[in-house]
Structure 1
Amino acid sequence: MTPTKVLISGASIAGPTLAYWLHRYGFAVTVVEKADALRAGGYPIDIRGTAIEVVRRMGILPRLRDAHIDARRYTFLNSDGRQVTSVPGTVAGDGIRSQDLEVRRGDLADALYASIRDDVEFLFGDAIDTLDQSPHDGPDVEVSFRSGRRRTFDLVIGADGMHSQTRRTVFGAEEQFHRYLGYCFALFTMPNTFGLSRELMMWNSPGRAAALYAVGGHDAVHAFLTLHRPQPPVDALRNPAAQRELVAAAFSGAGWEVPALVDAMGDATDLFFDLAGQIRMPRWSSGRVALVGDAAYAPSFLTGQGSSLALVGAYMLADALAAHPDHSSAFAAYARTVRPFVSANQALVDNGAATLFPTTVRALEQRNTMLRGLDTMPAATSRPAHSALTLPRSPALPYSGRARARPVR
């Protein structure tokens, strides 16, 4: 039988994970990525709870354990730069025992890509331009790419992030699904002139935070500038100059090393600016097109669960497509199983309520009091929302050959 042809848009986390499992089930997979290559390095991300089991089943857990950042110290400063407290990181290995991992985003992306690059087709430097589903939910999706090529697929999956073009094309404007959480942030790298190694330093004043994170003994550190704004500065999203002006104005007069961070942001070539928000959709599929990861249910960086939801969601979508005889029932099963897990994790944070970024003097004082009472940063051994979904079995072979057949009408 002819293998089911699936196009996945996005080669970051959800996309390659989905490609890996679909290939295991016998699907013919193509992944298209607008960037010319995988993005190296990147800011630290967490892998927690159920997601740890996904990467274990993929065989990449040992590699990710080797890449675990294992921060040794977290130092918190008040608005004039004086130390509030300095807390040791979890004792070496505790993060592993608790099944929490922290790695650079690029290290996870590299591990995922290496696990599947020889088995599926990757199209770098290209993107979906238009999608045309056959009338009456017919057997094909006609895809036009920005490069000019045209291809036909049985299914198309958008794994192209919070600002998904696939979602915009099929479901409409992002604004109807985006839930703003009251913060915007800038991430970039800068020279490590501070002598930091495997540690984080965070400065706070009400509604503002600046942090430096050294993930190792490197010449560069990750810089974070986060600010609370009741209304989203949407005009700055696609204007790098406006982003820099917005952040610089918000941190004007700040103490500690914040002026140096603002200056470095002006020179950064890897500035990433975005709003802290969530994607909440009533449905994740339409016809033969479905969404996974941030494109469908971004939880925001404030939860620390974006990468984990992408890993788990991709696994569950592949399992549903393999276990059901048609795409409609598969997409329905995927949503039915994953949505409670998504909801629990999105509920970890609310508007203006991020623990590390208090917006009032009182909230900041309460946070600092809590931090002073810590002997070590908690290893987070008990997190119900992060482990609220149990994965189905990991297959050695495709389900009864079903995945090898084209989806039926």
Structure 2
Amino acid sequence: MRILISGAGIAGTALAYWLTRHGCSVTVVERAPTLRKTGGHAVDLFRPAMEISEKMGVLPRIEERAIGTHRMTLCPQGARRPVRVDLSKIFGAASDRHVEIMRDDLSEICYDATRDDVEYLFDDSITVISPDAQVRFENAPPRRFDLVVGADGLHSNVRRLVFGDESRFGSFVGAYLGVLTLPNASGLDGELLIHVGVGRTAGMYGARHLGEARVLFLFRSERELDCHHRDVPRQKELLREAFGGLHADVDRWLAELDRTPAFYFDSITQLHMDTWSRGRVTLVGDAGYCPGPAVGGSTTLAVVGAYVLAGELARAGGDHERAFAAYERAMAESVRRSREVGLSAAKTLIPASRRGVRALAQGSRLISALPPSAGRALLRLTTKSARLYNSMAVGDYPPTAAAAADRTGRAGPRASG
């Protein structure tokens, strides 16, 4: 089968890996001229995604680039003393297998695992998809594929072309996310510094091997703001308005906005679609079922979704109607529960009242003060995200003998762009 994937992010490259493993001929089209280095934040891989990464043979590289955040200093606005938390206690209790890695690093690792078997078309995008999967591009000549997959994120171009405008499916959670990159002048290594006020949270973290630090901004908004997702000057203005005066540390971070080499900003929006498939087109990851950036386990969901979609296509012998239906059935419950977890996480991470700020600080103190056994018991009750993503059941989709033989005999690099 000839399959076109739109998007060379984590979902797209992971899907490309598994499709080629099952004997498909894969092309990935990416709007950016190279792999994106947008200053994205750290993402979590929970047990199912770790196991899939191990099957891909990329787990050692992932573990080498793990952030390893193990300490947190929480500074509630107006409090006299910060709260210091042992994050290793939280992560250890939340998941028996977990790693935190920069989004850009994970995309690069998955790309490297596929570049010899997959055709990459950078600096291009899809303009038309016909019902028979005839595709027109901005730059490349038209081509026909058997299937098209949108793995192009929350603002998916494929979803817009096939299913309609994003406004039909997006549900604004009531918050915004910003991320900027700046020099690690404080020498943070495995440490997270957070300032929390009513309706706004800002945190800085770093690791020695990164050579830089990331600042994460989260703030509440009762309504969607007048700001296009590509209007960077307006986005930076909104961050200054939302976070000015929270703390001197935060003011220093804001001062780096015009010097940062990489910047990201978006609404925290969930997608609610009755189906992710139409004809010869389907969606994977945030393009189809985003639970909300920074508040849901969207990366684990994307890695699992890519693995399941490729596996169901192989199991169905290329019958896409049967495969797409099985893929959606397999993912439906996890997607539904991920939305609930995302809403809960947003409320906790961005307190809406002074009482909420105090509750966040007191909860952190309690976890730090409890002995390890009691702390684990409390955390297992409260870490909904980890419980959900660790409990995702993933089937086994071994490649057929014909697919394995085809993969062995396939020619060398076909990457371009």
TM-score for the superposition, normalised by structure 1: 0.89
- Which runs of structure 2 are paired with 1:225-264 in the superposition (5 Å)? 225-264=217-256
Measured in 2, the distance between the counterparts of 1:66 and 1:399 equals: 34
**Map of 1:407 onto structure 2:** none
Identity between Structure 1 and Structure 2 (%): 35
**Map of 2:388 onto structure 1:** 385
Deviation (angstroms), 1:311? 0.2
**Which runs of 4 or more aligned residues in structure 1 lie more than 6 Å from their structure 2 counterparts after TM superposition?**
376-382
Deviation (angstroms), 1:275? 0.5
Deviation (angstroms), 1:124? 1.2
Measured in 1, the distance between the counterparts of 2:61 and 2:238 equals: 39
Describe the SS at the equivalent of 2:350: coil
- Which runs of structure 2 are paired with 1:10-409 in the superposition (5 Å)? 10-40=7-37, 42-80=40-78, 82-90=80-88, 94=92, 98-134=96-132, 141-216=133-208, 218-325=210-317, 326-350=319-343, 353-375=346-368, 383-397=386-400
Partners of 1:180 and 1:275 within 8 A in 2: yes
TM-score for the superposition, normalised by structure 2: 0.88
Range that drifts further, 355-364 or 85-94: 85-94
Range that drifts further, 62-71 or 306-315: 62-71
Structure with a larger share of its residues in helix: 2
Deviation (angstroms), 1:39? 2.6
Partners of 2:36 and 2:104 within 8 A in 1: yes
Q: Which runs of 5+ in 1 are unaligned?
A: 135-140, 405-409
Measured in 2, the distance between the counterparts of 1:54 and 1:390 equals: 12
**Structure 1 107/81 Cα, relative in aligned 2: closer, same or farther at 3 Å?**
farther
Partners of 1:75 and 1:83 within 8 A in 2: no
Give the counterpart letter for 1:183 in structure 2: A
Give the counterpart letter for 1:333 in structure 2: A
Partners of 1:81 and 1:256 within 8 A in 2: no
**Structure 1 400/208 Cα, relative in aligned 2: closer, same or farther at 3 Å?**
closer
**Map of 2:410 onto structure 1:** none
Measured in 1, the distance between the counterparts of 2:357 and 2:4 equals: 47
Deviation (angstroms), 1:93? 9.8
Give the counterpart letter for 2:216 in structure 1: F
Measured in 2, the distance between the counterparts of 1:253 and 1:132 equals: 52
Deviation (angstroms), 1:191? 2.0
Describe the SS at the equivalent of 1:349: helix
Give the counterpart letter for 1:150 in structure 2: P
Describe the SS at the equivalent of 1:257: helix
Partners of 2:124 and 2:140 within 8 A in 1: no
Partners of 1:181 and 1:351 within 8 A in 2: no
The number of residue pairs the alignment matches comes to 394
Range that drifts further, 266-275 or 37-46: 37-46
